[in-house]
Chain A
Amino acid sequence: MDVTNYVVLAAVLFAIGATTVLLRRNAIVVFMGVELMLNATNLAFVTFARMHGDLTGQVLAFFVMVVAAAEVVVGLAIIVTIFRTRRSASVDDVNLLRG
């Protein structure tokens, strides 16, 4: 298997994640799209680390995981606060500001 296959898979996952963020309306699903993008990044990091034969990429993947976890904490807190107020997690209902 060529390294290209792994990179293409990472790019495809990243694109699916980005599409989810841009097209889906539920804040939780949008957020899952972001997580998918971060995990695609991890795949790319680990692939490249193997290709270059050094551990930097694998360490970076751990950093990304930790940051993703921190983002989940803050993000879910904000989404849950809004949900408790409005009983809806749709980003379309969140429309008091004019965009």
Chain B
Amino acid sequence: MTTFVPPEIDWLALAPLLVVLGAGVVGILVEAFVPARARRTTQIVLTLAALAGGFAVVAVLWPQIVAQPVQVLGGSVTLTPFALGTQGLVAALAFLGVLVVADRTSTGQDAFAPSASAVPGTSYEDLARRSGLEQTEIYPLLLFAAGGMMLFASTDDLIVMFIALEVLSLPLYVLCATARRRRLLSQEAAAKYFLLGAFASALFIFGVALIYGFAGTVRLLVIAQRVQQGGLPLEGMTVLLVAGVLLVTVGLLFKVGAVPFHAWTPDVYTGAPTPITGFMAACTKVAAVAALVVVLYRITIGVGAVSPETMQQLQAVIVVVAVLTMAVGTVVGSVQSDVKRLLAYSSIAHAGFLLVGVAGFRPEVQASTLFYLLAYGVATIGAFGVVTLVRERRVGATSGEDNGPVEDDGVVLGEATEIAQWAGLGRKAPWLTAAFALFLLSMAGIPLTAGFIAKFGAFSGATNGGLWWLAVLGVLASVVAVAFYLRLLVVMVFRRADDETVPERVPDAEDLGEGAGASGAPAGVGTATLVTPQVTASQQVAVTVVRSRGPAAVAIAVCAVVTVILGVFPSPVLGLVEQASKFVP
């Protein structure tokens, strides 16, 4: 008779993941059992508590893992300081992101459709809005996405990495489709993201299959070992390994948003609900870049030892992608007229800067990458948080520029994302403008902000790896990027707000179809791409700044403070990430 031997599992090492994913499951139960009145509050408290709890467990585990990395479940979760650092970073940024998501602002509405499955412009949608339905499922979805991101870089097993990729992507596809306003754009963004995302994950998994064929395992460290030992059945067909690694890399570069796999980024960032864009831009980037670093560096242990020229080719691929990404991100970004699109291209450019660091293939790059991701993440969540508060407000056809920003009872519409509409924001909301300016300066890499230290780290990673010319290109691209951040700043601070009322601007049909209930008249069913007659009736929109109900303001303030602190006193955090530059257990 055989005896059952239970597996030994280090539950504490799994705790950050278990807390976050477990809370996601509990969130689903909350949907089923908690009465509708209390549901939203319960979900928000649960989500924030889970993310804070996950972060706390990471902090508890930190000294232990720095001293001795562990492999749990046969390497399915490989907890190195780098992986743990990524987990903590995702949990912290997701916490800030959820704060922005949870804010209903002074309009009393959050950014999500009352019933995301309702067809835009139908009576059912109208009914759902008037009866005050809320789509509180977004909170468990956010937790699942965050859990997937935390797992993404914490594994040594390519198949677990694939599953983590799906666990983080599938909720994001759904979340993209849930915007309250401009619903067609939102659904379109979700469709694009989904189709391209599914394509990228198919490339990823086929790459895994090829690597498995060559090495007979999907564990990265074992692959490195076996490649070095030799004697594999398909020894001659190194093309399998090379093609496999390339396909896996392409799958990851897609998630990173690097050129030429960036086509989805501007559209999805524009179409998704803005708080989700902030969450997605910051946290997905952390997870994807960290996973890319893990895969590339562990694979190259084996490949670099056996055939240095393959290794050089792989490095050349990353270098080319980095250069293209920086070029497209900064050049195309500088001609954008929409704030969300501009931030999307800025995110692409940052992917390029991160890849400059990664391309050096130096172990210390992990520390600077983590720091970069932190600096970029807080600036991004903060910036998108500000975007959620700058809104359009419908004004009567006769009212001119005598409208104050608040006293008018006009209906507040969606976000005012045209850069021209941001003129004079410095006078309307000085604090918000100051915070936004700080985030932009940090993204531009101006000294005394976090972005400067981050870029310095990334570029010195490239020079240490012998790619000084790539670092020079990076600096040049940063200069171009500074130009487009400054352009936005100049509009906000120096341009007069007398063009505050944009005459004869026709709002999107979806805006009015949504219409916030008060003035009714939903746009025509199914023809929402066309401009319906009611809409053209000389509607005018002004730009207003809605007040946060607290959470978003807290998130923006925290992001601003962190950006400054990291810029002025970076040494404690640099010391922490320095401990993380050990990724092989």
A residues whose Cβ falls under 8 Å from a Cβ of B: 3, 7, 10, 14, 17-18, 21, 27, 30-31, 34, 37-38, 40-41, 44-45, 47-48, 51-52, 54, 56-57, 60, 63-64, 67, 70-71, 74-75, 77-79, 81-82, 84-87, 91, 94-99
Chain B hits for A40, CB < 8 A: 206
Known: A63-B162, A74-B173. A96 touches B194 (CB 8 A): no
The one of A51, A54, A57, A82 that contacts B191, using a Cβ cutoff of 8 Å: A82
| A94 and B264 alpha carbons, distance in the complex (Å) | 13
The answer to whether A34 touches B199 (Cβ under 8 A) is yes
* Overall SS of chain A's interface: helix
Chain A hits for B528, CB < 8 A: 85
Chain B hits for A51, CB < 8 A: 213, 233-234
The one of A41, A52, A57 that contacts B205, using a Cβ cutoff of 8 Å: A41
The answer to whether A81 touches B218 (Cβ under 8 A) is no
The answer to whether B267 touches A74 (Cβ under 8 A) is no
The answer to whether B209 touches A44 (Cβ under 8 A) is yes
Chain B hits for A67, CB < 8 A: 162-163, 166, 201, 205
Chain B interface size band reads: 35 or more
Chain A hits for B189, CB < 8 A: 97
The one of B170, B199, B210 that contacts A74, using a Cβ cutoff of 8 Å: B170
| A21 and B206 alpha carbons, distance in the complex (Å) | 15
Hey, what's the 0/1 contact readout for B180-210 against A, CB within 8 Å counting as 1? 0000110111111011001101110110111
Residue of B whose beta carbon sits closest to that of A4: B237
The one of B177, B198, B217, B271 that contacts A97, using a Cβ cutoff of 8 Å: B271
Known: A74-B194, A81-B177, A86-B526. A44 touches B210 (CB 8 A): yes
The answer to whether A41 touches B206 (Cβ under 8 A) is yes
* Centre residue among A60, A78, A98 by max chain B CB count within 10 A: A78
The answer to whether A96 touches B529 (Cβ under 8 A) is yes
The one of B159, B185, B205, B213 that contacts A38, using a Cβ cutoff of 8 Å: B205
The answer to whether A52 touches B216 (Cβ under 8 A) is yes
Residue of A whose beta carbon sits closest to that of B240: A7
Chain A hits for B116, CB < 8 A: 81
| A51 and B233 alpha carbons, distance in the complex (Å) | 8
Shortest Cβ distance from residue A56 to the other chain B in the assembled complex, whole angstroms: 7
Chain A hits for B234, CB < 8 A: 3, 51
| A17 and B203 alpha carbons, distance in the complex (Å) | 11
The answer to whether A75 touches B177 (Cβ under 8 A) is no
18 pairs, A vs B, C-beta closer than 8 Å: A14-B202, A14-B206, A18-B202, A27-B191, A41-B205, A44-B213, A48-B209, A60-B159, A60-B209, A64-B162, A75-B173, A78-B173, A78-B191, A82-B188, A82-B191, A86-B184, A97-B270, A98-B267
Residue B120 lies at the interface, judged by CB distance under 8 Å to chain A? yes
The answer to whether A75 touches B194 (Cβ under 8 A) is yes
Please name 10 further chain A to chain B contacts, defined as beta carbons within 8 Å, in addition to the given A44-B213, A57-B212, sorted by A numbering: A34-B195, A41-B209, A44-B206, A47-B213, A60-B218, A63-B163, A74-B174, A81-B177, A86-B184, A86-B526
| A77 and B117 alpha carbons, distance in the complex (Å) | 9
The answer to whether A70 touches B206 (Cβ under 8 A) is no
| A21 and B200 alpha carbons, distance in the complex (Å) | 11
Chain B hits for A75, CB < 8 A: 173, 194-195, 198
Q: Would you list the 4 A-B pairs with minimal beta carbon distance, nearest first?
A: A37-B202, A48-B213, A44-B209, A97-B267
Shortest Cβ distance from residue A75 to the other chain B in the assembled complex, whole angstroms: 5
The answer to whether B195 touches A27 (Cβ under 8 A) is yes
| A31 and B199 alpha carbons, distance in the complex (Å) | 9
| A63 and B263 alpha carbons, distance in the complex (Å) | 28
Chain A hits for B209, CB < 8 A: 10, 41, 44-45, 48, 57, 60
Chain A hits for B173, CB < 8 A: 74-75, 78
Chain A hits for B188, CB < 8 A: 82, 94-97
| A3 and B232 alpha carbons, distance in the complex (Å) | 14
Known: A27-B191, A78-B191, A97-B192. A64 touches B205 (CB 8 A): yes
Residue B472 lies at the interface, judged by CB distance under 8 Å to chain A? no
Known: A60-B212, A60-B218, A97-B271. A78 touches B187 (CB 8 A): yes
The one of B159, B177, B206, B210 that contacts A63, using a Cβ cutoff of 8 Å: B159
Hey, what's the 0/1 contact readout for B105-142 against A, CB within 8 Å counting as 1? 00000000000110110000000000000000000000
| A38 and B116 alpha carbons, distance in the complex (Å) | 29
* Centre residue among B163, B198, B201, B528 by max chain A CB count within 10 A: B198
Residue of B whose beta carbon sits closest to that of A64: B205
The answer to whether B163 touches A7 (Cβ under 8 A) is no
| A64 and B158 alpha carbons, distance in the complex (Å) | 12
The answer to whether B212 touches A31 (Cβ under 8 A) is no
The one of A3, A7, A31, A54 that contacts B198, using a Cβ cutoff of 8 Å: A31
| A38 and B162 alpha carbons, distance in the complex (Å) | 12
| A3 and B271 alpha carbons, distance in the complex (Å) | 46
Known: A85-B184, A85-B526. A71 touches B162 (CB 8 A): no
| A17 and B201 alpha carbons, distance in the complex (Å) | 13
* Centre residue among A40, A85, A95 by max chain B CB count within 10 A: A85
* Centre residue among B173, B208, B212 by max chain A CB count within 10 A: B212
8 A Cβ contacts from B499-554 to A: 526, 528-529
Shortest Cβ distance from residue A73 to the other chain B in the assembled complex, whole angstroms: 8
Known: A97-B185, A97-B267. A34 touches B202 (CB 8 A): yes
Residue of B whose beta carbon sits closest to that of A53: B216
| A84 and B529 alpha carbons, distance in the complex (Å) | 14
Known: A85-B187, A91-B191, A99-B267. A56 touches B212 (CB 8 A): yes
Chain B hits for A81, CB < 8 A: 116-117, 119, 177, 187
Shortest Cβ distance from residue B417 to the other chain A in the assembled complex, whole angstroms: 12
The answer to whether B198 touches A85 (Cβ under 8 A) is no
The one of B166, B187, B240, B267 that contacts A82, using a Cβ cutoff of 8 Å: B187
